[in-house]
Structure 1
Amino acid sequence: MSGTFFGLGVGPGDPELLTLKAHRLLQRVDVVCFITNKDGYSLAADIARESLPTTRRQRHLPIEIAMCRDRTLIEQAYDQAAAQIGEALDHGHDVAFLCEGDPLFYGSFAYLLARLAPDYPCTSVPGISSLQAAGSALTQPLTTQGDRLAVISGLEDERDLLDALERFETVFIMKGGRRRHHIAAVIERAGRAHECAYLEHISTPAETRLRTLSRLPDGPGPYFSVFVVSRHHRSTP
């Protein structure tokens, strides 16, 4: 009998935002898998470190995936990871794959799920996403009754960004750090700069919250950054 593959959401950064269900699962699974950068660091594993067992042996399976736009290399890395995870599952070991935020909200788990679900039992443990964490960090509603919410990647072209800004009361723009000044210019063009906040590394010690785009630093920002454009925005803390 094969093991089960779990996509496990560890939340946006604060270890205390890990759910009890995720914590308990981490205590019992045989293998914990996570993505690392080229230096071997994994934010997801760092978030979950306090929930890993100390009284029993557990195998850790790091997977290096380059942060690049070459999808061929990235798909090859997922293929290799799926093969390693599949081997563990074949031996009856349960495997938990750690994901920042929620596994199925822009999560890498989706790519492994597509490869493994046809042959193995798979399930997901939800985590607090950057969307929810941003609303909490700003202490403002993301939506209220009658509002429409759009979630869009900061990598989308200007036309799609403008369309979302024109049609939705709240627009959540993810992964916009590298293009943050371009995105800010689009938000200005849409006439909604006064409704915008910019956040980085939400719920971590490095968290940055800017309630006005005029304070946006020069140059590109980090991968873990978001814009929240909302009718409910308050420009003062």
Structure 2
Amino acid sequence: MSDVAGESGTLYGVGVGPGDPELMTLKAARILGEAPVVAFFSKRGRSGNARRIVEGRFNPAAEELRLEYPFTVEVPVGDPRYRTEMAAFYDDAARQVAARLDQGRDVAVLCEGDPLFYGSYMYLHDRLAGRYAAEVVPGITAMSGCWARAGAPMTRGDDMLCVVSGTMDEDGLAERLAGADAAVVMKAGRNLAKVRSALARAGKLDRAVYVERGTMPEETVVRLADKPDDDGPYFSLVLVPTERRTV
């Protein structure tokens, strides 16, 4: 941790895991216990999932730097405003973090799951890592936390695992799912009806497992074919384990 006058602080991207606080690494816990600034992303008016995970587990004297998204799911990714406004948001967030680093204070940026796997931290990393010392602390991903909770062996031997986003068009999803031995569909939530249809077209709906808020107290794990509706929160994904076979 930086404590030399005139020396810039270090930027830490800290993966805090998929939801269960006990799945945070020892290194993440150590850094959070020492960092003078803890930054986290959140929806406007909410604390954010990453902040909830670390409740009571970071330096009580630390400054909390809340970085509030201008929107989350209200504006579609394809809307021209999305890229423009989100870029401006990350530019401003980077300026706020840089101001603390310039004061010689280390900044630990929280990220649920792993910082470099669909994590918002990476957009700060893109903007700041070339100017400041930066270290990424990996975290247990949402998908590995979910397949552990589902008790679903995902790959065996030389199986190929495909990770796709539920925001893809249905034809693209169906094509990739059909060609994979096993798959994880991230960002299933509002795209669940399309994901279900793509899995059916790929002939893999019977193997699909829906996991909602995996490793969290409100966790739901169910065969997708048995789920009676297509409603799902942001923290949901679909697992397609490899076919079971004997060695």
After superposition, the C-alpha distances for 1:85-126 in whole angstroms (9 at most, x for unaligned) are 001000110000000100001111111101001211111000
Task: Look up the SS of the partner of 1:50 in the other structure.
Answer: coil
Q: Which of the numbers 63, 80, 84 marks the counterpart of 2:96?
A: 84
Q: Which of the numbers 224, 231, 235 marks the counterpart of 2:242?
A: 231
What residue number does 2:10 align with? Answer: 4
What residue number does 1:42 align with? Answer: 48
Preserved contact between residue 141 and residue 232 of structure 1 (Cα < 8 Å): no
Task: Return 5+ residue gaps in structure 2 as ranges.
Answer: 1-6, 77-81
Task: Look up the SS of the partner of 2:197 in the other structure.
Answer: helix
CA deviation after TM superposition for structure 1 residue 50, in Å: 2.8
Q: Which of the numbers 50, 57, 61 marks the counterpart of 1:51?
A: 57
Distance 1:42 1:191 in 2: 37
Distance 1:24 1:197 in 2: 35
1:73 and 2:79 matched: no
Distance 1:40 1:187 in 2: 34
1:168 and 2:172 matched: no
What residue number does 1:135 align with? Answer: 147
Q: Matches of residues 83-232 of structure 1 in structure 2 within 5 Å?
A: 83-211=95-223, 213-232=224-243
CA deviation after TM superposition for structure 1 residue 26, in Å: 0.3
Corresponding letter in the other structure for 2:89: A
What residue number does 1:64 align with? Answer: 68
Task: Look up the SS of the partner of 1:34 in the other structure.
Answer: strand
CA deviation after TM superposition for structure 1 residue 178, in Å: 0.0
Task: Tell which deviates more after alignment, 125-134 or 69-78.
Answer: 69-78
After superposition, the C-alpha distances for 1:181-208 in whole angstroms (9 at most, x for unaligned) are 1210110111111111011100001111
Distance 1:64 1:217 in 2: 34
Total equivalences in the alignment: 231
Corresponding letter in the other structure for 2:189: G
Distance 2:36 2:188 in 1: 36
CA deviation after TM superposition for structure 1 residue 139, in Å: 1.3
Preserved contact between residue 206 and residue 225 of structure 2 (Cα < 8 Å): no
Residues 170 and 219 (structure 1 numbering): CA distance in 2 closer, same or farther, change over 3 Å? closer
Distance 1:232 1:35 in 2: 38
Corresponding letter in the other structure for 2:201: R
Corresponding letter in the other structure for 2:45: D
Preserved contact between residue 15 and residue 50 of structure 1 (Cα < 8 Å): no
Task: Look up the SS of the partner of 1:97 in the other structure.
Answer: strand
What residue number does 2:39 align with? Answer: 33
Distance 1:214 1:107 in 2: 29
Distance 1:37 1:217 in 2: 29
Distance 2:227 2:193 in 1: 8
Q: Matches of residues 16-27 of structure 1 in structure 2 within 5 Å?
A: 16-27=22-33
CA deviation after TM superposition for structure 1 residue 232, in Å: 3.9
